[in-house]
Amino acid sequence: MANTKSAEKRNRQAETRRDRNRAATSRLRSTIKKTRASLGETKGDDAAPILGTVQSEIDRAVRKGVLKKNAANRYKSRLAKASKATV
């Protein structure tokens, strides 16, 4: 329980940030799941536009501070590898 006005404000700010981060994380995970599913269905060069959208979403998550840079690079690398495996 907050005892001061500044502590109450910090609690409000933390709640706002938590909600925003949760939404961004959910959006990122959903996009990655959809991409993995669609990569299984597509062949070869058709995967390039799908891969571009998910990479953009991953970069957005890094800018927002939801995902760390190395984790983002790992996700992108694994997705690219998966898209090449469907050829």
State residue 39's pLDDT score.
84
- Amino acid identity of residue 38, one-letter, is S
- The reported pTM is 0.81
pLDDT tens for residues 25-67? Answer: 999 999 999 999 888 777 666 778 888 899 999 999 999 999 9
Instruction: Assess contact for 72 and 62: CB atoms under 8 A.
Output: yes
Per-domain boundaries in the chain: 5-85
Cβ-based neighbours of 32, under 8 Å, separated by 6 or more:
54, 57, 58, 75, 79
CATH number given to 5-85: 1.20.58.110
